[in-house]
Amino acid sequence: MIKHRKAFQEIEKVLNLDVYGVIILFGLRKTGKTTILKQLTEKYDGCYIDFRNSKDPENDYLGVYDREEKLILLDEIGYLPSFDAYFGNLEKDIKSAGKKVIITSSSYGALKQLEAESLGGGRSYPVQLFPLCFEEYLYFSDRISKYGEDYEPTDQDLQDFYRLKNVPAGMDFIVNREYLRTVFTDIEIARNSAEYAIRDIELTRNCYMSVLDVIAYTLNDKISIKRFRGMMQVGAQEFGRDVKGLSISKSLISLANNIISKATNGLFTGIEIKDLALIVLYLYHNGFLFVDLARNEANVQSYDRITYQLSLVRTFEDIEQILKTYTFSVISPLLYSRLMIDLESIADKLCSGAVYGRLYELTIKSESVYKLGYVPEYYSYKYISANREVDLWERNILLEGTISDESNKRRYWVDKVAFDYQVIRVLTSSIGVYSFNGVYYRIGYLKALLMISNGSIFDLEATKVIEQ
């Protein structure tokens, strides 16, 4: 039986609605865009063109209008010369030919510009393809037989999810420097192929080597220059120096030390503070990072100035202020765990102790980001009021992640906050007992994660409690 991603099912629904002539499939490299296009090609007898491997991309594109197939699937459009000029009239042209088209590219900037301008205003339907969510992993690893199935996950399920164990070939990718090199190549080629300016974040070659290091030290924690000191391996921050990881040359770790040295009386050339800000901006803009925003009854922290503020960074104080204001995290725990070469040696640590809590919280927040659908940037909300903070606020759910047992005398903020409307309060617990005391639910880590992933958590009964 052929299994499909949730994005495949979403695309099918849009095709059957017969409203949109153009669908844009967004997604990081290696997340499965090409697989989805080929599955659609086979199921609907479509015409598939991969411009990256095309010998004559322009004629291949122009020829689709004369083909009999009604569904056209265009992969890696950034390799089509003057693609932005062709696609200025894509919606009109494709409808006139009585066809529908799905386009993809590994260049987020190129697709974002097309979706916002040439194909914006309802002229296209955007679909996001993130790395596997937890429910998709359970499905592809044969733990569940269909999406939405009731299931009690185990610690081993979560460990295997982080390791991408027992998934079909091609899903168990490694994020390394070669992976990022191909990402950079796709972006550069798309920029060169555009007839009009691609307003994208452009890194210089001397910044590329530091991108992985930012990802590696962004395990649901504030990016701080101080935390890069003295670590010489990816993963050392969370797992200790004995863990085997990717060796780092000229890493952000050493760069930070040099920058701090320069800020005093040291000498440094090459990467500067503004470059570090640009690297964070690049990762955020291209779908590798999301930002955690503060929210309460009174207001919501805005994300529309993040790009602007990062672009203005010139001093150590500038970037420190931004990193105190916003918390950036890796878009998926799979990106983080894919940086580890020897995952088997640390698998037991992924579901124990402080690492378990931090990685679990990242997973919870990542799943909430996936639920937002397509937005210009990626973000999650947390409740903050005075000295109170709850990890996740999405739609009508208020969820506190990674709470220790009562013996540790941790305070549970989910039953301390007041709202003037109904909300679902959820307190996750490593104990795994499912209960409801009339104010908040207590749900085990694993079950709560699956309920976020499949959306069933939003079906819980909401309560209204006024704090005394």
441/312 same-domain check: no
- Among 344, 361, 396, identify where a domain stops: 344
89/216 same-domain check: no
* pLDDT given at position 237: 60
Share of the chain above pLDDT 90, in %: 41
Question: Mean pLDDT throughout 385-410?
Answer: 77
Confidence of residue 373 (pLDDT cuts 50, 70, 90): confident
Is residue 375 in some structural domain? no
Q: How far is the C-alpha of 327 from the C-alpha of 331, rounded, in Å? A: 12
195/241 same-domain check: yes
pLDDT digits (tens, 9 = 90+) for 178-227: 788 888 888 889 988 988 877 777 777 667 766 776 777 666 666 665 55
Neighbour count for residue 385 (Cβ, 10 Å): 16
Is residue 277 in some structural domain? yes
Is residue 353 in some structural domain? no
330/187 same-domain check: yes
Q: How far is the C-alpha of 382 from the C-alpha of 270, rounded, in Å? A: 37
Q: How far is the C-alpha of 131 from the C-alpha of 338, rounded, in Å? A: 11
Q: Which of 221-225, 304-308, 376-380 has the lowest mean pLDDT?
A: 221-225
| CATH number, domain with residue 37 | 3.40.50.300
Is residue 240 in some structural domain? yes
299/169 same-domain check: yes
157, 198, 232, 362, 373 from 457: Cα distances, Å = 19, 40, 41, 18, 17
pLDDT digits (tens, 9 = 90+) for 417-440: 766 668 899 998 877 778 998 888
- Among 82, 112, 129, identify where a domain stops: 129
165/266 same-domain check: yes
Find the Cα–Cα–Cα–Cα dihedral 18, 19, 24, 25, rounded to 10°.
-50
Is residue 140 in some structural domain? no
206/270 same-domain check: yes
75/196 same-domain check: no
189/318 same-domain check: yes
Question: Mean pLDDT throughout 136-147?
Answer: 97
Is residue 145 in some structural domain? no
Domain hosting 229: range is 159-344
197/93 same-domain check: no
Q: Specify which residues 400 forms β-bridges with.
A: 427
Q: How far is the C-alpha of 99 from the C-alpha of 366, rounded, in Å? A: 35
Work out how many domains the chain is built from and give that number.
3
201/251 same-domain check: yes
Match 């390791």 to its residue by tokens: 163
Closest CA to 100 of 56, 142, 69: 69
pLDDT digits (tens, 9 = 90+) for 77-135: 999 999 999 998 899 999 999 999 999 998 888 888 888 888 888 889 999 999 999 99
Residue 317: which residues within 8 A CB-CB, separation 6 or more?
A: none
Pair 109, 284: CB distance under 8 Å:
no
- Among 88, 112, 129, identify where a domain stops: 129
Q: Specify which residues 397 forms β-bridges with.
A: 394, 424
Is residue 413 in some structural domain? yes
Backbone angles phi, psi at 153, to 5 degrees: -65, 155
Residue type, 143: R
Is residue 144 in some structural domain? no
pLDDT digits (tens, 9 = 90+) for 108-121: 888 888 888 888 88
- Break the chain down into helix, strand, coil percent, rounded to 5: 45, 15, 40
56, 95, 98, 99, 306 from 67: Cα distances, Å = 16, 14, 11, 10, 45
Match 């150590």 to its residue by tokens: 316
Question: Mean pLDDT throughout 263-291?
Answer: 73
197/89 same-domain check: no
- Across all residues in the chain, what is the average pLDDT? 83
Report pTM.
0.89
